[in-house]
C-alpha cells in the first residue's frame, strides 16, 4: 500500500471516529464502550496476524515500542471517551487539531526533527487563540462538565503526542501488524482492570446504535486505523504524521452537524479556523514566507 492511500484512509477513519465515540456511549458507560471496542480490536488484530501468517516480535526494542504505543492508547482513549460525554462530537476532533502542534513541539525537543522558528511560535499562538475563542467565548456553554471534558481532551492530545514521538524515538522498525497487536495487548489488560473498578458489571441492555458504533470502532477505528497509522508513522517524520488531525476537524464538525443534529455556532467555526491556520503556519509558514530557520528558539534539552 502506498503512503498517500494510507494517509487518506487514516483521515477518513479519524473523521468518523468522534461521532462513533459519541454514539457508542449512548445507554452504556464510557468505560464499557471503550473496553468493548478494545476487546473487539485486539481479537481482530490477532486474527489478522494469524491469517497473514505473521508473528509477534518480542525483542527488547519491540517490547519498548509496544509499551510506548499501548500506554498511549490506554491513556489517550480513556480521556477521550470520558470527555466525549460532555462535548459535541465535532469538538473532539477540533481539540485534537492541536495534535500537530504538540507532536511537532515534542519532536523538535526530543528528536531534533526541527527548530522552533518565529513563524512556528506564531502558529502556536493562533491555534491556542482559536481554542480560547471556542471555550472562552460564547461558542460553547462552558459549565463545569464542559470545562472538565475540554481538559480531558487536551490531556488526551498530550498523551497521544508523547506516545507518537516515543515510538518514533525507539524506531524498532516493526511490522505494522505486530506493532498494532503488541500495543493493543498492552492496553487491553489496563482497560479490563479499569472497567472492573469503574463499572464492575455489564449493562442490562445495549442500544443497537451503540453496539454498531462499538463494532465499527473496534474493527476500523482500532485494527485498521492503528495499522494504517503505524504504517504512516514508520515512513513519515513524527511532526508530519501530526498533520492528519489538521484535516479532520472540519469533516468531523460537518458529520456531527448532519448526522447528530449538533449545533455548531459561528464562533466555533471561527475558532476552528484559527486552530487550522495555526497548524498551517506551524508546518509551512517558514517555507511560505521564505524565512528558513531564522529566529529559532534554542533546544533546552
The reported pLDDT for the residue numbered 245 is 65
Instruction: Identify whether 258 is part of a domain.
Output: yes
Number of structural domains (the chain) is 1
Nearest to 52 by CA among 218, 198, 177: 177
Instruction: Identify whether 259 is part of a domain.
Output: yes
Asked whether the predicted pLDDT for residue 271 surpasses 60, the reply is yes
Asked whether the predicted pLDDT for residue 67 surpasses 80, the reply is yes
44-58, 232-246, 275-289, range with greatest mean pLDDT:
44-58
| DSSP-assigned beta bridge partners for residue 116 | 297
User: Regarding predicted confidence, which is higher, 191 or 114?
Assistant: 191
How sure is the predictor about 30, in pLDDT bands with cuts at 50, 70 and 90? very high
pLDDT in tens, 125-164: 998 888 888 766 554 556 788 888 889 999 999 999 999 9
Instruction: Identify whether 294 is part of a domain.
Output: no
User: Regarding predicted confidence, which is higher, 284 or 85?
Assistant: 85
The reported pLDDT for the residue numbered 2 is 80
How sure is the predictor about 27, in pLDDT bands with cuts at 50, 70 and 90? very high
What DSSP string describes 243-262? THHHHHHHHHHHHHHHHS--
User: Regarding predicted confidence, which is higher, 82 or 226?
Assistant: 82
Which structural domain range is residue 231 located in?
3-289
Asked whether the predicted pLDDT for residue 48 surpasses 50, the reply is yes
Least confident of 23-27, 164-168, 175-179, 189-193: 175-179
Q: Name residue, grid cell 472540519.
A: 250
* Secondary structure (H, E, C), 6-58: HHHHHHHHHHHHHHHHHHHCCCCCHHHHHHHHHHHHHHHHHHHHHHCCCCCCC
Asked whether the predicted pLDDT for residue 50 surpasses 80, the reply is yes
Length of the chain: 301
Instruction: Identify whether 295 is part of a domain.
Output: no
The reported pLDDT for the residue numbered 195 is 95
The reported pLDDT for the residue numbered 291 is 57
85-94, 134-143, 277-286, range with greatest mean pLDDT:
85-94
Mean residue pLDDT of the chain comes to 85
Average pLDDT over residues 114-133: 83
Asked whether the predicted pLDDT for residue 299 surpasses 80, the reply is no
Instruction: Identify whether 299 is part of a domain.
Output: no
Provide the whole-model pTM.
Answer: 0.84
**Kind plus residue range of the DSSP H or E element containing 89:** helix 89-96
Average pLDDT over residues 66-72: 96
**Which residues lie below 8 Å from residue 238, measured CB to CB, with a gap of 6+?**
103, 104, 106, 107, 111, 113, 164, 165, 168
Average pLDDT over residues 186-213: 94
The reported pLDDT for the residue numbered 290 is 65
Instruction: Identify whether 49 is part of a domain.
Output: yes
The reported pLDDT for the residue numbered 294 is 40
Instruction: Identify whether 135 is part of a domain.
Output: yes
Instruction: Identify whether 296 is part of a domain.
Output: no
Amino acid at each position: 500500500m502506498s503512503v498517500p492511500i494510507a494517509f487518506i484512509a487514516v483521515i477518513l477513519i479519524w473523521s468518523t471516529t468522534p461521532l462513533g465515540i459519541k454514539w457508542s456511549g449512548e445507554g452504556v458507560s464510557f468505560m464499557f464502550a471503550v473496553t468493548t471496542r478494545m476487546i473487539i480490536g485486539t481479537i481482530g488484530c490477532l486474527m489478522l496476524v494469524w491469517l497473514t501468517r505473521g508473528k509477534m516480535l518480542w525483542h527488547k526494542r519491540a517490547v519498548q515500542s509496544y509499551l510506548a504505543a499501548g500506554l498511549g492508547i490506554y491513556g489517550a482513549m480513556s480521556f477521550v471517551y470520558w470527555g466525549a460525554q460532555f462535548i459535541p462530537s465535532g469538538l473532539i476532533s477540533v481539540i485534537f487539531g492541536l495534535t500537530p502542534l504538540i507532536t511537532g513541539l515534542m519532536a523538535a525537543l526530543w528528536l531534533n526533527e526541527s527548530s522552533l522558528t518565529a513563524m512556528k511560535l506564531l502558529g502556536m499562538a493562533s491555534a491556542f487563540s482559536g481554542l480560547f475563542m471556542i471555550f472562552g467565548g460564547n461558542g460553547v456553554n462552558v459549565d463545569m462538565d464542559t470545562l472538565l471534558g475540554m481538559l480531558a481532551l487536551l490531556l488526551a492530545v498530550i498523551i497521544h503526542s508523547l506516545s507518537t514521538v516515543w515510538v518514533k524515538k525507539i524506531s524498532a522498525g516493526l511490522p505494522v501488524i505486530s506493532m498494532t497487536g503488541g500495543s493493543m495487548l498492552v492496553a487491553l489488560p489496563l482497560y479490563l482492570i479499569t472497567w472492573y473498578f469503574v463499572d464492575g458489571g455489564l449493562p442490562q441492555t445495549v442500544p443497537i446504535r451503540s453496539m454498531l458504533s462499538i463494532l465499527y470502532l473496534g474493527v476500523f477505528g482500532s485494527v485498521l486505523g492503528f495499522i494504517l497509522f503505524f504504517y504512516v508513522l514508520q515512513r513519515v517524520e513524527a511532526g508530519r504524521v501530526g498533520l492528519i488531525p489538521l484535516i479532520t476537524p472540519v469533516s468531523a464538525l460537518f458529520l456531527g452537524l448532519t448526522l447528530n443534529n449538533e449545533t455548531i455556532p459561528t464562533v466555533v467555526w471561527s475558532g476552528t479556523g484559527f486552530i487550522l491556520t495555526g497548524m498551517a503556519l506551524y508546518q509551512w509558514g517558514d517555507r511560505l514566507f521564505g524565512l528558513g530557520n531564522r529566529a529559532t528558539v534554542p533546544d533546552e534539552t
